[in-house]
Structure 1
Amino acid sequence: MFGRFRVPRTSALALAALLSATLSTVAAPPAAADPGPPATVRFPAGFHWGVSMSDFQSGGSFPDSNWTRYAKRRAFGVRDPYGNSVDFRHRYPSDLRLAKELGVNTFRTSIEWARVEPRRGVRDPEALAYYDDLVRRVRAAGMRPMLTLDHWVYPGWVADQGAWDNPATARAWLENARFVVRRYRGQGVIWITFNEASQYLYQELTARPMNPVQLATMRAALVRTHRAAYDMIHELDPGAPVSSNVAYGAALNPVLDAALFNDVTDKIDFIGLDYYHGAGLQNALAGNALAGEVWKAAPEPEGLYHALRSYQRRLPHLPVYIVENGMPTDDGRPRPDGYTRADHLRDHLYWVQRAMAEGVKVMGYNHWSLTDNYEWGSYRPRFGLYTVDVRTDPTLTRRPTDAVPAYRAVIAGRGVPRGYVPRRRPGWCSLEDPVATCLGRTPTPPADRRRPDGGYSAPRQ
Structure 2
Amino acid sequence: MDRETFYIGAATAGHQVEGNNTNSDIWAMEQMKYGGYPEKSLDAADHYNRYKEDITLLKSAGLNAYRFSFEWARIEPKEGEFDEKEMQHYLDMVHFCKENDIEPIITLHHFASPKWLIEKGGWESEYVIEAFKRYTKYIAQNLSGEGIKYICTLNEANMGNLISIYIRQAKEQYEKQEGEKATLQIGLNLEEMKKEEEAKEKENIEVFGTPFPAVFVSPRSPKGNKIIMETHKAAVEILHEMLPDTKVGLTLSLRDVQAIPGGEEKAALDWHDEFEEFLPAIIDDDFVGVQNYTRAVFGENGELPPEDGAELTQMGYEFYPEGLPNVIRRVHASFKGEILVTENGIATDDDTRRVEFIRRAFDGVKACLEDGIPVKAYMYWSLLDNFEWQSGYTMRFGLIGFDRKTQERTVKESLAFLGNVNRIETNTL
Global fold match (TM > 0.5): yes
1:403 to 392, 402, 414: 414
Q: Find the residue that maps to 2:398 and give its secondary structure.
A: coil
Q: What corresponds to 1:163 in structure 2?
A: 122
1:369 to 382, 393, 403: 382
Shift of 1:168: 2.2
Q: What corresponds to 1:105 in structure 2?
A: 64
The answer to whether the Cα contact below 8 Å between 1:322 and 1:364 also exists between their aligned partners in 2 is yes
CA distance in structure 2 between the aligned counterparts of 1:286 and 1:219, rounded to whole angstroms = 30
The answer to whether the Cα contact below 8 Å between 1:271 and 1:318 also exists between their aligned partners in 2 is yes
Q: What corresponds to 2:322 in structure 1?
A: 302
2:292 to 275, 280, 300: 275
The answer to whether the Cα contact below 8 Å between 1:280 and 1:300 also exists between their aligned partners in 2 is no
Q: What corresponds to 1:123 in structure 2?
A: 82
Question: Which amino acid is the alignment partner of residue 32 of structure 2?
Answer: R
2:354 to 341, 345, 355: 341
Q: Find the residue that maps to 1:343 and give its secondary structure.
A: helix
When structure 1 is superposed on structure 2, of 45-54 and 241-250 the one drifting more is 45-54
Shift of 1:233: 0.6
The answer to whether the Cα contact below 8 Å between 1:71 and 1:82 also exists between their aligned partners in 2 is yes
Listed as ranges, the matches of 1:51-66 within 5 Å are 51-66=10-25
Is residue 326 from structure 1 mapped to residue 332 from structure 2 by the alignment?
A: no
Shift of 1:359: 2.4
Shift of 1:266: 2.9
1:148 to 107, 119, 124: 107
Is residue 385 from structure 1 mapped to residue 399 from structure 2 by the alignment?
A: yes
Question: Which amino acid is the alignment partner of residue 319 of structure 2?
Answer: P
Shift of 1:75: 4.6
* Higher-helix-fraction structure: 2
Gaps of 5+ in 2: 168-187, 189-203, 205-211, 258-269
CA distance in structure 2 between the aligned counterparts of 1:220 and 1:163, rounded to whole angstroms = 13
Would you say how many aligned residue pairs link Structure 1 and Structure 2?
363
Q: What corresponds to 2:275 in structure 1?
A: 257
2:26 to 67, 86, 94: 67
Question: Which amino acid is the alignment partner of residue 86 of structure 2?
Answer: A
Query: 1:82-108 deviations in whole A, cap 9, x for unaligned?
Result: 111111111111111111112222211
The answer to whether the Cα contact below 8 Å between 2:17 and 2:45 also exists between their aligned partners in 1 is yes
Q: What corresponds to 1:223 in structure 2?
A: 229
Alignment CA distance shift 1:266-1:73 (3 Å): same
CA distance in structure 1 between the aligned counterparts of 2:144 and 2:284, rounded to whole angstroms = 19
Shift of 1:340: 1.7
Q: Find the residue that maps to 2:5 and give its secondary structure.
A: coil
Query: 1:356-410 deviations in whole A, cap 9, x for unaligned?
Result: 22222211111111111111121111111001243xxx11221111202211211
Q: What corresponds to 1:428 in structure 2?
A: none
Question: Which amino acid is the alignment partner of residue 310 of structure 1?
Answer: R
Shift of 1:193: 0.7
Shift of 1:201: 4.9
The answer to whether the Cα contact below 8 Å between 2:313 and 2:319 also exists between their aligned partners in 1 is no
The answer to whether the Cα contact below 8 Å between 2:255 and 2:327 also exists between their aligned partners in 1 is no
Question: Which amino acid is the alignment partner of residue 101 of structure 1?
Answer: S
Listed as ranges, the matches of 1:409-424 within 5 Å are 409-414=420-425
2:245 to 236, 239, 242: 239
Shift of 1:44: 4.7
Q: What corresponds to 2:262 in structure 1?
A: none
Alignment CA distance shift 1:285-1:243 (3 Å): farther
Shift of 1:293: 7.0
Is residue 197 from structure 1 mapped to residue 157 from structure 2 by the alignment?
A: yes
CA distance in structure 1 between the aligned counterparts of 2:161 and 2:43, rounded to whole angstroms = 25
Alignment CA distance shift 1:411-1:235 (3 Å): same
Q: Find the residue that maps to 2:152 and give its secondary structure.
A: strand
CA distance in structure 1 between the aligned counterparts of 2:115 and 2:346, rounded to whole angstroms = 32
When structure 1 is superposed on structure 2, of 203-212 and 112-121 the one drifting more is 203-212
Alignment CA distance shift 1:202-1:361 (3 Å): closer
Alignment CA distance shift 1:352-1:209 (3 Å): same
The answer to whether the Cα contact below 8 Å between 2:20 and 2:41 also exists between their aligned partners in 1 is no
Q: Find the residue that maps to 2:151 and give its secondary structure.
A: strand
* TM-score, L = length of structure 1: 0.72
When structure 1 is superposed on structure 2, of 297-306 and 235-244 the one drifting more is 297-306
* Higher-strand-fraction structure: 2
Gaps of 5+ in 1: 1-41, 419-460
CA distance in structure 1 between the aligned counterparts of 2:4 and 2:46, rounded to whole angstroms = 34
Shift of 1:210: 5.6
The answer to whether the Cα contact below 8 Å between 1:109 and 1:146 also exists between their aligned partners in 2 is yes
The answer to whether the Cα contact below 8 Å between 1:64 and 1:118 also exists between their aligned partners in 2 is yes
Q: Find the residue that maps to 2:239 and give its secondary structure.
A: helix
CA distance in structure 2 between the aligned counterparts of 1:287 and 1:293, rounded to whole angstroms = 14
Alignment CA distance shift 1:93-1:203 (3 Å): farther
Shift of 1:263: 2.3
RMSD over aligned CA atoms reads: 3.0
Q: Find the residue that maps to 2:389 and give its secondary structure.
A: coil
